[in-house]
A = this chain, B = another copy of it.
Amino acid sequence: MRHARVFSFLVLFVGATMLFDSRPLGADEGMWLFNNPPTRLLKSKYGFEPTAAWMDHLRLASVRFNSGGSGSFVSSDGLVMTNHHVGADALQKLSTKERNLLKTGFHAKTREEELRCVDLELNVLVSIEDVTARINAAVQPGMDPAQAHQARRAAMNTIEKESFDKTGLRSDVVTLYHGGLYHLYRFKKYTDVRLVFAPEQEIAFFGGDPDNFEYPRFDLDICFFRVYENGKPARPEHFLKWSKAGPADGELVFVSGHPGRTSRLNTVAHLEFLRDKSFPYLMRKLYRREVILTSYSERSQENARRAQDELFGIENSRKARLGGLAGLQDPAILDAKRAAEAELRKAVAGRPELAAAVGDPWADVLGIIKVWEGILYDYDLLERGAAFNSDKFHIARILVRLADETAKPNAQRLREFAESNLDSLKRDLFSEAPIYDDLETVKLADSLGMFLEMAGPGHPLVQKVLAGRPPRERAAELVLGSKLADVAFRKKLADGGVAAIAASDDPMIQLARLVDPAARELRRTYEEKVEEPLRQAYARIADARFKLHGTDVYPDATFTLRLAFGTVRGYTEMGKSVPPWTDFAGLYERAAEHENRPPFRLPPRWIERKDRLDLRTPFNFVSTADIIGGNSGSPVVNRRGELVGIIFDGNIQSLVLDFQYTDELARAVSVHSSAIVEALRKVYDAQGLADELGR
């Protein structure tokens, strides 16, 4: 799983824990803020009280990947561990036709052999500050949503810039509880990140799409990077000690990572919108992209290599979202949500003062959703760029807007162009990651075709974009005619500002300019008529919850650092007992079952070295921790803060966690710490790396 994933489930058993909206939390639920940990819950259920130092250590050893995912420091020399599928974006960008790192894996035997990544940025959360009052104070009573949005944006941009100027740290104002709270997160940023070790994708993603989101599982889904500062390995103060034994059955474990997005606090009307409009549209897009990219990939090994990471991401999203949609399509789930919502509303109504303050945010959400529905497709096609699925277009869009936005005062800029975000934005913009014109053309032709089909051939913008040509011809013309693959060319355009953009005859720049007025208008409608009013309505619901249930609630996931906890525990599925862990012996059995054919083929090294391995070594294990896409690569630690595993997936039943927590069958899936060391030593002869872990 990765950042963009949404989880849900296929088979659901609705239990008492469902009505968490208005009841005390049960089981191992929650994606908790590090400045509001579930102290009472942990103490009462597990007799464990994490100290402030324990929390700080875990937070400061945790790492966020800008490519989407989590990780942790695992040595005093800046070694970072994450999932192979989180590192895959970096591996893909370091690969060429001659050097396919996803296929062969990689092992730097010396520091000198470590490969500097093209555009990877890692962040460590060093402080959290509540700025809710200041943000809300910027929104004056009587402001309409458009004014409120602009005021709020100005406050956020300003706070971030002040913080950046003061500390030199990356500073992000994050929205929590859909607008109930605003926190300022400051990050230490690492941009010199080097690849140390990655296994072959065949073992990292053994079982491929068929086994993705399934359990039992047999994946060595890990890779190692090292962060450098001033040309030398960084020496992080906090890193996780390695647990040689790993976790025991039933042991309490913690997960520190960045769950991407959940929709647990959504109103029923909002969930229905996801079910009836948003998810079906997304699936439609994913299905066609998967077919188009698969078809492209099958034409040659080199094509397959070029599209590999992107295709994995699409397949992965498709499976996750399909599970999510299946969850939403289960009347039992929605009925339970409906009951919980009714209960909350009743509780609010029972306290007249609260009721007066809260008003009817549920009705407001419903009204806002109607506006959203009206722009759903156009917003995605034009503003989010689904109509122009091409790296070159993405670059062109950023260049065009960079010129326009940086000409404005910081407070008035679109969020991603605010002063404190520019560094990271330019890192992406000037990335040397390869761009393949043939792949670009295939993707752009398909997405232009989708635009044409959805907006219709009579749409004025469709006609201007296609310029009288069929989508495939037009896509080839745009891609082949654009020089934006050249980073120096991009830099020149960026330096030239508005004048250079206006004068450019690059067809992709011209396309980005052509669609920008309509795209910006949609963005404005979305921000002012959807995002802002939704934020206000949800803030009122959050407020009601705080007042009724206290602050022992956690916000929906937002790709910010969270603490989850749970126990290592198997489950019973269709009367069959699923043990909490698999082992290497099981890996070889599964490969044999499939006659060692892809995606169940073992890399040659694993076949040759089978005899050296202790086949009883635990390989993957499950726990009840509350995780979701974005948690990929999260360290799993025990009470002593030792690393016992690394999250890489959830089982198919865990796909429900997008909408509600359950521990009946849903499980987080991790690679066991013992398996990692055993594989490094016996299969990869990586003694130095194994020795370094936890030191």
Known: A300-B594, A452-B329. A295 touches B210 (CB 8 A): yes
User: Could you say how many copies of this chain the assembly holds?
Assistant: 2
Contact check, A210 vs B326: say whether CB atoms are below 8 A apart.
Answer: no
A597 to B597, CA, bound (A): 12
Closest to A476 in B: B11
A382 to B300, CA, bound (A): 40
**Nearest-CB distance from A271 to chain B (Å)?**
12
Known: A276-B457, A295-B210, A298-B210. A472 touches B326 (CB 8 A): yes
CB of A435 within 8 Å of the partner chain:
no
Contact check, A210 vs B318: say whether CB atoms are below 8 A apart.
Answer: no
- Which residues in B have their C-beta under 8 angstroms from that of A608? none
- Which residues in B have their C-beta under 8 angstroms from that of A287? 284, 287-288, 290-291
Contact for A291 among B10, B291, B449, B469, CB less than 8 A: B291
Contact check, A294 vs B295: say whether CB atoms are below 8 A apart.
Answer: no
Closest to A9 in B: B470
- Which residues in B have their C-beta under 8 angstroms from that of A691? none
CB of A352 within 8 Å of the partner chain:
no
Contact check, B276 vs A472: say whether CB atoms are below 8 A apart.
Answer: no
- Which residues in B have their C-beta under 8 angstroms from that of A319? 295
**Nearest-CB distance from A334 to chain B (Å)?**
9
Contact check, B471 vs A298: say whether CB atoms are below 8 A apart.
Answer: no
CB of A456 within 8 Å of the partner chain:
yes
- Which residues in B have their C-beta under 8 angstroms from that of A294? 294
Closest to A595 in B: B301
Size of the chain A interface, CB-CB below 8 angstroms: 46
Contact check, A457 vs B284: say whether CB atoms are below 8 A apart.
Answer: no
A208 to B297, CA, bound (A): 13
CB of A209 within 8 Å of the partner chain:
yes
- Which residues in B have their C-beta under 8 angstroms from that of A300? 594
CB of A275 within 8 Å of the partner chain:
yes
**Nearest-CB distance from A507 to chain B (Å)?**
19
CB of A640 within 8 Å of the partner chain:
no
A346 to B318, CA, bound (A): 52
**Nearest-CB distance from A37 to chain B (Å)?**
35
Contact check, A471 vs B210: say whether CB atoms are below 8 A apart.
Answer: no
Contact check, A453 vs B280: say whether CB atoms are below 8 A apart.
Answer: yes
A325 to B288, CA, bound (A): 14
Contact check, B470 vs A301: say whether CB atoms are below 8 A apart.
Answer: no
**Which 10 interchain pairs have the tightest Cβ spacing?**
A330-B470, A287-B287, A280-B453, A210-B299, A210-B298, A287-B288, A287-B291, A329-B470, A290-B291, A331-B468
Name A residues whose Cβ lies closer than 8 Å to a Cβ of B. Answer: 10-12, 208-210, 272, 275-276, 280, 283-284, 287-288, 290-291, 294-295, 298-301, 318-319, 325-326, 329-332, 449, 452-453, 456-457, 466, 468-473, 594-595, 597, 599
CB pairs A–B below 8 angstroms (15 shown) = A11-B472, A209-B298, A210-B299, A280-B453, A283-B288, A287-B288, A290-B291, A291-B291, A294-B294, A325-B449, A329-B457, A329-B470, A330-B473, A331-B470, A332-B470
